[in-house]
Structures are given as C-alpha cells and as structure tokens.
Amino acid sequence: MIELNVKPVVLEGEAVRLEPLGQNHAQGLYSRGRFEPDWQYMPRACFVDAADVRHWIDDALQAEAQLPFAIIERAKGRVAGSTRYLNIRPAQRSLEIGWTWLGQDYQRTVVNTEAKLLLLAHAFEHLGCIRVEFKTDARNLRSQQALERIGAVREGVLRQHMIVQGGYRRDSVYFSVIDTEWPQVKQRLQAACNR
C-alpha cells in the first residue's frame, strides 16, 4: 500500500541518480535551466538568475503532496534537470510524475528514459501504486509522443486546465500507466535504456 507520506529517497540507475532536491543543486539547475525554449510548455519561464532557482527550489520543497528530485548524470556527477512526484493521493494509491525538465545536453538521451523507469518502478514496486499519471501541454507533441512510446495510455484532454506563462489558457493532455500495464511498460523502458 502507498505510504501516507512518500518519503525522500535516492533512486539510482546505470546512467542517472535521482536524489531529493535541495539548495545544493541550485547552481547546476541554473546552468541547465536558462534556455528559454526548453520551458515553452512549462507553467513558468526559464530561470533568470541564481536567486530565482533558489526560490523555485524552496517552492518545490514546500508544495503539498509533492516530492521533488534532482536528476544527476552519474558519469560526470552533473545536475541534468529535475522531476517530481506530485498529486500524491494515498487513499487512491496513485500519484503523478511531472515537472520534468532537462538541460539541452540531456534531452532525447537515456537520462529521461531511465529517470522515468526509476520513478515508475519505485511507485509501482515499492509504494504500491495502482496508477501513475502524466499530464502535458496539448501543444507539446514531443512529450505526448514520448509518453505513447513508453506505453502510457492517453486518457483525454482537460480544456483550459491551467493558466501558464503569459496568461495562456493551457489544455492538458492526460496519460496514465496502471499496475496491470506496468510489466510491459517496464520492459519497454528497460529495452530503451539498453539501446
């Protein structure tokens, strides 16, 4: 059964380590998170200075029903980006994986694939989740295609779901993986990590 309070944990794979987000990651996140196009579909814009990153980390750590991680490239020990468990719902045995972003050097690499594998494995195999969901901006076709490739099921669109950067009324596309689908999704992710 999923725990009432999902506790900070280090998740380690071959290429990446996910560790609890902290102020010690601020400089690495700032170095990777200043490229404006990378944040086009995120709720907020890219980092503008080191203080902005520190504030963003504080907000992430104080958010209810969330557990934020720094994504670390193991080979060089460098911060690659960040991701979170959010909308943690113990009574429903479900959570969301989101707020995922990576610096330019790590996009379309094994880093994102293995991070998803680690997060999903922990959710299903250790926390007892029966559902893990993802949501993405309806304009973000690349993200939607990536979720479909791993075997996540598209569930539908919530219209004008969020107001994001510049006051844009974002439609959100929801995807999920449920516990009975997890073994096949796990195989797909493992195969993708070994390519």
- The per-residue pLDDT for range 67-97, each reduced to its tens digit, is 999 999 999 999 999 999 999 999 999 999 9
Q: How far is CA 59 from CA 4, 18, 62, 170, in A?
A: 21, 19, 5, 22
Residue 121 has pLDDT above 50, yes or no: yes
Provide the pLDDT for residue 143. Answer: 93
Domain assignment present for 23:
yes
Provide the pLDDT for residue 24. Answer: 97
Domain assignment present for 180:
yes
- Pairing of the two strands 94-102 and 131-137: parallel
Mean pLDDT estimate for the chain? 94
Domain assignment present for 4:
no
Provide the pLDDT for residue 6. Answer: 77
Residue 2 has pLDDT above 70, yes or no: no
Provide the pLDDT for residue 108. Answer: 84
Residue 156 has pLDDT above 70, yes or no: yes
Domain assignment present for 6:
no
Domain assignment present for 146:
yes
Domain assignment present for 148:
yes
Q: What is the pTM of this model?
A: 0.94
Q: CA-based angle 104:137:153, to the nearest 5? A: 100
- The per-residue pLDDT for range 21-43, each reduced to its tens digit, is 999 999 999 999 999 988 999 98
Please give the residue range of the domain that contains residue 41: 11-193
Residue 3 has pLDDT above 80, yes or no: no
Sign of CA dihedral 187, 107, 75, 22: negative
Confidence of residue 4 (pLDDT cuts 50, 70, 90): very low
In terms of Cα–Cα distance, which of 158, 139, 150, 195 is closest to 176?
150
What is the number of structural domains in the chain?
1
Domain assignment present for 93:
yes
Domain at 160, CATH number: 3.40.630.30
Provide the pLDDT for residue 195. Answer: 82
Domain assignment present for 179:
yes
Provide the pLDDT for residue 175. Answer: 98
